Structure 1
């Protein structure tokens, strides 16, 4: 490739010449400097065989001069750059001087104008300060006026609302029935108690189970397709088992159907209906609360004064969406729509309450019978638990007696084994004489040992360092003498074969 390029250069090909010319024309200044430096910094190669001491000395001098030339050239380049920077600074200073002169001329002109009007300048400044103060005071008064107007509108709204509530209460005063209110309150208490004690408890338990299941799934390893297939098979098998167990249970219920099965099914259906109605009531209450929150954000006037923000509602209720318009008519339309929606939701809640009351009234007899059966079942369950507890106590008492009898039996067996030798001696008189001879022989042996110990004690009594041994032997002699005395006493007073305890 290099040879080809050189050949094209020699032949004067445009494809080789034009790029070189373009590069030269784009870097003229830098190439001029390189040419200038190459003139003084190009080394002349001398063949080694022609090198003499004089030539070597000349080459060293040339090298030193080249280094000196490089140093001088770098200083010249730096001075040129400093000169260019100095020229820029000089131009900036000149421009700043011109601007200073222009500003000075403007200041002089303003001073001349002010000198001609020096009599009224202080008065004009005082008037301007008063004007500024009055403008600020006017703005403050406008703000206060708007605040007072808002407060007045808010008070008017409150008065209208209280008057409307008073009129409604006066209308309802004649139709108030304490018993109906008490019944209604009882029904609400029963409903809330059911929701809190049963429904919410079941929901919490279900959520906890779901959380445990999710945690269990998260703690599992990465699931593959084979694992999914195995899980599906297990699910199918479990579903089949559930279906079979349900079928068997239904068959058993059909075979052993009792009088309470009808009431049991009725109670299950009632529980399901109660849960459905409770869910509807919770949903309606939630929507009603949301509507109250939206309406509590803003209060609307009927006289067309505008929209007044209820600050107390901001503190007591969560934030809601900001209205997208400030037009009073649009806001009134929005308020009317919201009121209609709230009324509709209230009607739905009232309808659900009426349905619940009707349902409770219709199934009151079944509920009462169910409660009575449930109370009987609870009583029977408690009685059975008490009987079971008493039986467990009796079993524990009998087990304790059994253990005590076993211990007494073991003790009696041990005593019987101790007395067996007496029975053998009574049944076999020759054996008794042998035992007596053995006892006499042991007695004589013991006496001989005592005599030996006494002789040893006499020998050791003269030694000064044998006090401890003497005391020890004296103790042993006393023990053996006591044994002999007891043996003689038993042989004289007690008949043969009696044991000493």
Structure 2
């Protein structure tokens, strides 16, 4: 507390207060004197507070100080958090209340001046919504808000210019230095000119030098243009490579695409986007606007104390009790059966599911875009490092499908070969059985021939030859079939071996890649969960910080405006005070010549001169009034004389014209007589 009092006394003894206090005198101040001191400090921050508190009621003083302290964002200490006790202590001039206020004000005097200056121009009027229905009021309110925003921008620009580091003294020094350099250059040019004039044909040389300088400048410009064109060419080549890669990716992506699938996907995207634009996003925007409106309304209201909160809670309890009493008094009737309740519930459930699915789809799309971007970055990085083309997922799928088809064909061929082998075994067995039967038949035939003689030997021989011929043909066909089958088996074995040899390195490369893909997928899931939690926390912190920064910026702008206004008013008052002091010095000076220079003497002199001039004018007016009638009579006489002379002139001219006409007639008569 002693340090606080020391700081207050030191600041009050400095400019512009000059109270000449010490710790004892300041601590022994009466409540009214302490309130007046507080009012003086507030008047230094806001010139409107410069009044004598003895001339107003204590309630008005407390209200005025409360308003200014609320505008300056003053918060009472923890022991005085109750608004009623704080107000009572401020009205009574209590030291525990006023000392912290003085300490807080004197610590932040420049900042508070600026805030008070800006608060006058940045006050936002809370116009009720029913009044904004009027076009004139709405336009006026909109114009007011635009002026407030314009004032903010102008004030920011002014502060930026002030803080830019440029000052008039530095600019003047720079101008003086440049003028000095200009004079030196002019002197050097003059010396060189004198030196060159002594050389013969110096004009020709100067012309050649000028042309050389022009050509050098042109050469530099061409070199610069050439470099720019090279840069543009390099950028165009890079852009072409990127476009070619994008075209290749698009072609690969559209290789298996069909018009029906594309149209279906586009319809789904259009449906989803229309739902987001017409239903989901407007609802979220309206909800956020309502929340911002409520927050602005809460922020614009002054801080509430415990007493006010207790009063509001009492009102809420009274209203809830009254509501319960009304509900008890109302007659109980049978509940109305609403047939649409089930459908409303189902519609609400479907709408919630639809919103959830839309959010999930939006998150999936964002995740897909992020993964696609990461894959493109990895592929470009791999191409830049090793120059190898990375197999895309769709290409690998097509390759796997192709190999799967070949595997199926191989299995079919192998099955056919097994069937042929089985048939070959059956044919061999048939051949053995036929040979056994032939041997038995021959034995029986020999037995019969031995019993019956050699009758039928030739027919039997022909039959045997025909059978042998048929058998030879069959053997030949069988041999040819077996050769074809062996050739086919060899070809199939060779193809299988080739495919195995071709697939073995790919399979070897694919195994670690599969394992790496599984590891990366697990790591990706973990990182994604961490990222989501971190992003949510950062987003909440960012919104809080943005709100705090917005409030602080508004306070800064208000304080800056108030500070500049007070500074200007202070400068004007100082100039007026200086003029008054100079006038007092001149007025009390014993030197009569100095007194004559005072403003009072000058005004008295001007008044005397004007009075003498008025006196002269009044005398002239009197003379004019006295001589008005004779002068008017003389004017009329002069007008009559002028009219008479004009008449005589006309008569003379008429007589002269008649005389000239008569002379002409007489001359013409004489001419006729002569003839």
State the TM-score, normalized to the length of structure 1: 0.27
Larger Rg: 1
Larger relative contact order (C-alpha < 8 A, sep ≥ 6)?
Answer: 2
State the TM-score, normalized to the length of structure 2: 0.21
